[in-house]
Chains A and B, each alone.
Chain A
Amino acid sequence: MSKIIERKGKLYLLTPKGAFEIEKIIKKEGKNIPIVKAKGETIEHPDGRKSVKIHVPILKIKTKGGDNGIGSL
Protein backbone atom coordinates (compact mmCIF):
# COMPACT_ATOMS: atom_id res chain seq x y z
CA MET A 1 0.00 0.00 0.00
CA SER A 2 1.38 3.43 -0.90
CA LYS A 3 0.57 6.84 0.59
CA ILE A 4 1.51 10.45 0.03
CA ILE A 5 3.50 12.22 2.75
CA GLU A 6 4.94 15.75 3.08
CA ARG A 7 8.48 16.43 4.29
CA LYS A 8 10.14 19.84 4.33
CA GLY A 9 7.64 21.27 1.91
CA LYS A 10 7.96 18.45 -0.62
CA LEU A 11 5.51 15.65 -1.36
CA TYR A 12 6.62 12.04 -1.56
CA LEU A 13 4.89 8.84 -2.65
CA LEU A 14 5.84 6.38 0.09
CA THR A 15 5.80 2.77 -1.15
CA PRO A 16 7.21 -0.53 0.13
CA LYS A 17 9.95 0.00 -2.50
CA GLY A 18 11.00 3.43 -1.23
CA ALA A 19 9.99 7.08 -1.34
CA PHE A 20 9.58 8.89 -4.64
CA GLU A 21 9.33 12.65 -4.85
CA ILE A 22 6.07 13.82 -6.39
CA GLU A 23 6.38 16.56 -8.99
CA LYS A 24 2.69 17.42 -8.98
CA ILE A 25 -0.72 15.90 -8.36
CA ILE A 26 -3.45 15.88 -10.98
CA LYS A 27 -7.14 15.13 -10.49
CA LYS A 28 -8.55 12.32 -12.62
CA GLU A 29 -12.04 10.91 -12.18
CA GLY A 30 -12.15 12.48 -8.71
CA LYS A 31 -8.93 10.79 -7.60
CA ASN A 32 -5.54 12.34 -6.86
CA ILE A 33 -2.99 10.96 -9.33
CA PRO A 34 0.62 11.66 -8.28
CA ILE A 35 3.10 12.40 -11.05
CA VAL A 36 6.39 10.82 -10.11
CA LYS A 37 9.76 11.23 -11.77
CA ALA A 38 12.58 8.74 -11.45
CA LYS A 39 15.25 9.94 -9.05
CA GLY A 40 18.87 9.22 -9.75
CA GLU A 41 22.22 9.36 -8.07
CA THR A 42 25.68 10.11 -9.41
CA ILE A 43 28.62 8.11 -8.09
CA GLU A 44 31.98 9.86 -8.45
CA HIS A 45 34.88 7.41 -8.60
CA PRO A 46 38.35 8.27 -7.26
CA ASP A 47 39.80 8.08 -10.79
CA GLY A 48 37.43 10.78 -12.05
CA ARG A 49 34.88 8.52 -13.67
CA LYS A 50 31.19 9.16 -12.94
CA SER A 51 28.49 6.49 -12.86
CA VAL A 52 24.74 7.02 -12.69
CA LYS A 53 21.96 4.93 -11.15
CA ILE A 54 18.36 5.88 -11.99
CA HIS A 55 15.77 4.35 -9.66
CA VAL A 56 12.81 3.61 -11.91
CA PRO A 57 9.41 3.22 -10.19
CA ILE A 58 7.11 0.57 -11.62
CA LEU A 59 4.54 1.90 -14.11
CA LYS A 60 0.96 0.78 -13.60
CA ILE A 61 -2.08 0.04 -15.73
CA LYS A 62 -5.29 -0.32 -13.77
CA THR A 63 -8.28 -2.26 -15.11
CA LYS A 64 -11.80 -1.86 -13.85
CA GLY A 65 -15.24 -3.25 -14.44
CA GLY A 66 -18.65 -1.65 -14.26
CA ASP A 67 -19.86 1.41 -16.12
CA ASN A 68 -16.98 1.44 -18.57
CA GLY A 69 -17.54 -2.14 -19.64
CA ILE A 70 -16.42 -5.52 -18.46
CA GLY A 71 -12.82 -4.41 -18.39
CA SER A 72 -11.28 -1.11 -19.38
CA LEU A 73 -7.77 0.31 -19.22
Chain B
Amino acid sequence: MASGVYNRCKKNLMTSMDLENDTIKVMLLDSNHSFNVDHNTKADIVANEVSGSGYSAGGQALTNKSLTQDDDNDKAYFDADNPKWQDSSITASHAIFYDDDLDDDDLLLSVEFDQSYTSTNGDFELVLDSDGILEVS
Protein backbone atom coordinates (compact mmCIF):
# COMPACT_ATOMS: atom_id res chain seq x y z
CA MET B 1 0.00 0.00 0.00
CA ALA B 2 1.63 3.22 -1.16
CA SER B 3 -0.50 5.51 0.89
CA GLY B 4 -2.14 5.17 4.26
CA VAL B 5 -2.49 6.47 7.75
CA TYR B 6 0.37 6.09 10.21
CA ASN B 7 -0.42 4.30 13.44
CA ARG B 8 0.80 7.31 15.35
CA CYS B 9 -1.76 9.37 13.52
CA LYS B 10 -4.50 6.90 14.51
CA LYS B 11 -3.45 7.23 18.12
CA ASN B 12 -3.12 10.99 17.89
CA LEU B 13 -6.60 11.19 16.42
CA MET B 14 -7.93 9.91 19.70
CA THR B 15 -5.37 11.93 21.65
CA SER B 16 -6.58 15.15 20.04
CA MET B 17 -10.06 14.21 21.23
CA ASP B 18 -8.28 13.92 24.59
CA LEU B 19 -10.01 10.68 25.45
CA GLU B 20 -7.24 9.95 27.91
CA ASN B 21 -7.50 13.17 29.92
CA ASP B 22 -11.08 14.33 29.48
CA THR B 23 -13.82 12.93 31.68
CA ILE B 24 -15.47 10.32 29.46
CA LYS B 25 -18.80 9.16 30.80
CA VAL B 26 -21.14 6.32 29.90
CA MET B 27 -24.88 6.65 30.41
CA LEU B 28 -27.71 4.12 30.02
CA LEU B 29 -30.82 4.68 27.92
CA ASP B 30 -34.13 2.85 27.72
CA SER B 31 -35.85 1.15 24.80
CA ASN B 32 -37.44 4.40 23.60
CA HIS B 33 -34.05 5.47 22.25
CA SER B 34 -32.93 4.60 18.74
CA PHE B 35 -29.44 5.23 17.39
CA ASN B 36 -29.18 8.17 15.02
CA VAL B 37 -25.71 8.83 13.65
CA ASP B 38 -26.58 12.52 13.27
CA HIS B 39 -27.06 13.05 17.01
CA ASN B 40 -24.30 15.29 18.32
CA THR B 41 -24.64 16.04 22.01
CA LYS B 42 -26.08 14.57 25.19
CA ALA B 43 -29.04 16.91 24.89
CA ASP B 44 -30.10 14.97 21.77
CA ILE B 45 -30.53 11.72 23.69
CA VAL B 46 -30.98 12.52 27.38
CA ALA B 47 -34.78 12.31 27.23
CA ASN B 48 -34.52 8.52 27.25
CA GLU B 49 -31.99 8.18 30.06
CA VAL B 50 -32.85 5.49 32.60
CA SER B 51 -33.51 6.19 36.27
CA GLY B 52 -33.52 3.98 39.32
CA SER B 53 -31.71 3.23 42.53
CA GLY B 54 -27.95 2.99 42.15
CA TYR B 55 -27.95 5.14 39.04
CA SER B 56 -27.14 8.87 38.89
CA ALA B 57 -28.26 11.08 36.02
CA GLY B 58 -25.50 11.47 33.45
CA GLY B 59 -24.10 8.02 34.12
CA GLN B 60 -20.63 7.36 35.44
CA ALA B 61 -17.09 8.34 34.44
CA LEU B 62 -14.77 5.76 32.91
CA THR B 63 -11.76 4.86 35.03
CA ASN B 64 -8.22 3.80 34.12
CA LYS B 65 -8.56 5.04 30.54
CA SER B 66 -5.71 4.22 28.15
CA LEU B 67 -4.64 4.73 24.54
CA THR B 68 -2.44 2.10 22.94
CA GLN B 69 -0.56 2.08 19.65
CA ASP B 70 -0.20 -1.43 18.17
CA ASP B 71 2.50 -1.45 15.49
CA ASP B 72 2.27 -5.21 15.00
CA ASN B 73 -1.37 -5.05 13.88
CA ASP B 74 -1.39 -1.40 12.67
CA LYS B 75 -4.12 -0.30 15.06
CA ALA B 76 -4.74 1.99 18.01
CA TYR B 77 -7.04 1.26 20.91
CA PHE B 78 -9.00 3.16 23.55
CA ASP B 79 -9.75 1.15 26.67
CA ALA B 80 -10.97 1.58 30.25
CA ASP B 81 -12.19 -0.48 33.18
CA ASN B 82 -15.61 -2.08 32.95
CA PRO B 83 -18.31 0.39 34.05
CA LYS B 84 -20.51 -1.08 36.76
CA TRP B 85 -23.56 0.25 38.62
CA GLN B 86 -23.50 -1.67 41.88
CA ASP B 87 -26.61 -2.48 43.91
CA SER B 88 -28.77 -0.94 41.22
CA SER B 89 -32.34 -1.45 40.05
CA ILE B 90 -32.46 -0.24 36.45
CA THR B 91 -33.67 -1.33 33.03
CA ALA B 92 -31.58 -0.34 30.03
CA SER B 93 -31.29 -1.03 26.30
CA HIS B 94 -28.41 1.23 25.23
CA ALA B 95 -25.08 2.52 26.55
CA ILE B 96 -23.84 5.87 25.27
CA PHE B 97 -20.30 7.17 25.73
CA TYR B 98 -19.76 10.95 25.72
CA ASP B 99 -17.15 13.59 26.56
CA ASP B 100 -18.28 15.30 29.75
CA ASP B 101 -15.55 17.95 29.54
CA LEU B 102 -16.78 19.50 26.30
CA ASP B 103 -19.27 22.34 26.71
CA ASP B 104 -22.14 20.43 25.07
CA ASP B 105 -21.14 16.90 26.19
CA ASP B 106 -20.37 15.67 22.67
CA LEU B 107 -21.36 12.07 21.89
CA LEU B 108 -18.70 9.47 21.11
CA LEU B 109 -20.12 5.96 20.80
CA SER B 110 -23.43 4.15 21.05
CA VAL B 111 -23.94 0.49 21.97
CA GLU B 112 -27.34 -1.16 21.57
CA PHE B 113 -28.17 -4.27 23.57
CA ASP B 114 -29.98 -7.22 21.96
CA GLN B 115 -32.86 -6.62 24.40
CA SER B 116 -33.69 -4.63 27.53
CA TYR B 117 -31.93 -5.88 30.66
CA THR B 118 -33.01 -5.28 34.26
CA SER B 119 -30.95 -5.38 37.42
CA THR B 120 -32.74 -5.70 40.77
CA ASN B 121 -30.65 -4.61 43.75
CA GLY B 122 -27.70 -6.11 41.85
CA ASP B 123 -24.85 -5.06 39.57
CA PHE B 124 -25.38 -3.74 36.05
CA GLU B 125 -22.01 -4.18 34.36
CA LEU B 126 -20.71 -3.40 30.89
CA VAL B 127 -18.07 -6.03 30.13
CA LEU B 128 -15.85 -4.31 27.59
CA ASP B 129 -13.99 -6.24 24.91
CA SER B 130 -10.51 -7.27 26.06
CA ASP B 131 -9.04 -4.99 23.35
CA GLY B 132 -11.07 -2.04 24.58
CA ILE B 133 -13.93 0.24 23.61
CA LEU B 134 -12.72 1.69 20.33
CA GLU B 135 -10.29 0.52 17.65
CA VAL B 136 -8.86 2.69 14.87
CA SER B 137 -7.21 0.75 12.05
| Chain A interface residues (CB < 8 Å from chain B) | 17, 21, 23, 37-40, 42-43, 45, 48-66, 70-71
Hey, which chain A residues are within 8 Å of B123, CB to CB?
A: 51-53
Q: Is the interface of B mostly helix, strand, loop or mixed?
A: strand
Q: Are A71 and B125 in contact (CB under 8 A)?
A: no
Could you list some 15 contacts between A and B, CB below 8 A? A37-B112, A40-B114, A40-B117, A49-B121, A51-B123, A52-B124, A54-B111, A56-B133, A58-B132, A59-B133, A59-B134, A63-B5, A65-B3, A65-B4, A71-B4
Q: How large is the interface on B (under 10, 10 to 19, 20 to 34, 35 or more residues)?
A: 35 or more
Q: Are B119 and A38 in contact (CB under 8 A)?
A: no
Q: Which of B98-137 contact A (CB under 8 A)?
A: 109, 111-115, 117-137
Digit string of B52-80 for contact with A (CB within 8 Å is 1, else 0)?
Answer: 00000000000000000000000001000
Hey, which chain A residues are within 8 Å of B137, CB to CB?
A: 60-63
Q: Which of B1-29 contact A (CB under 8 A)?
A: 1-5, 9-10
Q: State whether the Cβ of B95 lies closer than 8 Å to any Cβ in chain A.
A: yes
Hey, which chain A residues are within 8 Å of B119, CB to CB?
A: 50-52
Complex CA distance for A50 and B131, rounded to whole angstroms: 28
Query: For residue A17, which residue of chain B has the nearest CB?
Result: B129
Q: Are A54 and B95 in contact (CB under 8 A)?
A: yes
Per a CB cutoff under 8 Å, which of B4, B120, B125 touches A53?
B125
